[in-house]
Amino acid sequence: MSTTTKSAAPQSQYQPDANGRLLEVENLHVEFHTPDGIARAINGASFDLHQGETLAILGESGSGKSVTAQAIMGILDMPPAVIPEGAIRYAGHDLLTMPEEQRRKVRGPEISMIFQDALSSLNPTFPVGWQIGEMFRQHRGMNKSDAYAQAVRLMERVAIPAAKERVKQYPHQFSGGMRQRIMIAMAIALDPAVLIADEPTTALDVTVQAQIMALLAELQEERQMGLILITHDLGVVADVADRAAVMYAGRIVAKADIDDLYARPAHPYTRGLLESIPRLDQKGQTLAAIGGLPPNLMRIPPGCAFNPRCRMAQEICREQEPELRRVGNQESRCHFAEEVLNG
């Protein structure tokens, strides 16, 4: 592993297990207790992430992707959020029961995140270099000028032209793509072992999307980070992810190596999402592959949560909740997974 681009990061006390596993989310439940009732946003999600691996978390808006990321980061507002069950282990340590002081040392130096609304989360009143430097001042006790030097180094690393001249400019002086690069610079500043990127390209145009994905893939490779790429857009992760987990109504409904997932999906919802990818030969038209809407999380349908929208639904789907189970090389939460896989 190259250390030339590193900033003398202190040796981490957290190491992956013998199989290289860094992060393990097990049977996670998250509820929001609101005046209108309990919204069950996450309902038993389990997945893991290995060192040097890119995991895509896919699903429509409202499926629970960001809440999962916020739970891992420990930034959910509790209340209204409640975590009645589950564990999130980082290098074997449960983050959910870790004292806040220790957790603060994980957030940033160990697990870092690029937020969904990244473009608006830069502070308009401070120079970008000051905001990147904040990471070093806060976590490494650096002085102002050393922190600025680190900011320049990082801006160069994320390919912002004329970084030295631009380090004291303000966010509005940068394009959307360049601001996203600044957010990435902040997220990797402390050499985290895990980076979570929540819809990192959503607000950007297609060309810039591809550049940002390529940059993330490059940084992941260079630093051997575990990267979680969250997106509703299956078009942007096919080339960069190793594995994918598909979420629906706060459950993982499918897990597979990315190539298998795209080539031969084993869950009707995955198949629907793939059919919804806009295709260039259809002049940007999106096929309405999945009718209807995701369920109200206060009233998730019994049986398979996807049943009201599923073209393959049978009686059993309305009565019995399918387990996530293995079919071929994949996992699928569908009573008819074999038929889907082979269909």
Ligand X SMILES: Nc1ncnc2c1ncn2[C@@H]1O[C@H](COP(=O)(O)OP(=O)(O)O)[C@@H](O)[C@H]1O
List the one residue from 95, 310, 324, 341 that touches ligand SF4 (CB under 6 A): 310
Q: Quick one: tokens of 68?
A: 């999962």
Pick the closer one to ligand SF4 by CB: 64 or 268: 268
Pick the closer one to ligand SF4 by CB: 107 or 251: 251
List the one residue from 317, 324, 327, 341 that touches ligand SF4 (CB under 6 A): 317
Q: Quick one: tokens of 200?
A: 């990192």
Residue with tokens 């650096």: 142
CB of 309 to ligand X, least distance (A): 16
Q: In what order do the strands lie in the sheet with 93-94?
A: 37-50, 21-34, 81-90, 93-94
Which partner from the list Mg ion, ligand X, ligand SF4, none does 39 bind, CB cut-off 5 to 8 Å by kind?
ligand X
80 binding ligand X? (CB under 6 A): yes
Residue type, position 184, single letter: I
Q: How far apart are CA 164 and CA 226, in angstroms?
A: 30
Q: Which stretch binds ligand SF4 (CB under 6 A): 3-11, 88-96, 284-292, 309-317?
A: 309-317
Give the DSSP H or E segment for 235. Answer: none
Rounded to the nearest 5°, which phi and psi values hold at 21? -75, 130
Binding mask 52-91 for Mg ion (x = CB under 5 A): -------------xx-------------------------
Q: Which of 87, 85, 84, 17 is nearest to 47 (CA)?
A: 87
Pick the closer one to ligand X by CB: 23 or 41: 41
Pick the closer one to ligand SF4 by CB: 96 or 313: 313
Q: Which stretch binds ligand X (CB under 6 A): 62-70, 143-151, 161-169, 313-321?
A: 62-70
Q: How far apart are CA 223 and CA 206, in angstroms?
A: 26
Q: Where are the alpha helices (DSSP H) in 27-175?
A: 65-73, 100-106, 118-121, 128-140, 144-157, 163-166
Binding mask 288-307 for ligand SF4 (x = CB under 6 A): ----------------x-xx
Inter-axis angle of helices 144-157 and 176-188, to 10 degrees?
120
Largest CA distance in the chain: 67
336 binding ligand SF4? (CB under 6 A): yes
Q: How far apart are CA 198 and CA 212, in angstroms?
A: 13
CB of 337 to ligand SF4, least distance (A): 7
Q: Which stretch binds ligand X (CB under 6 A): 56-64, 165-173, 208-216, 309-317?
A: 56-64
Angle at 267 between CA 45 and CA 309, to 5 degrees: 90
Rounded to the nearest 5°, which phi and psi values hold at 326? -80, 130
Q: How far apart are CA 199 and CA 58, in angstroms?
A: 10
Angle at 224 between CA 219 and CA 329, to 5 degrees: 110
Residues 254-273 close enough to bind ligand SF4 by CB under 6 A: 268
59 binding ligand SF4? (CB under 6 A): no
Residues 274-333 close enough to bind ligand X by CB under 6 A: 297
Q: Which stretch binds ligand X (CB under 6 A): 31-39, 92-100, 123-131, 263-271?
A: 31-39
Summarize as ranges the residues that interact with ligand X (CB under 6 A).
32, 34, 39, 41, 59, 61-67, 80, 297
Summarize as ranges the residues that interact with ligand SF4 (CB under 6 A).
268, 304, 306-307, 310, 312-313, 317, 322, 334-336
Summarize as ranges the residues that interact with Mg ion (CB under 5 A).
65-66, 116
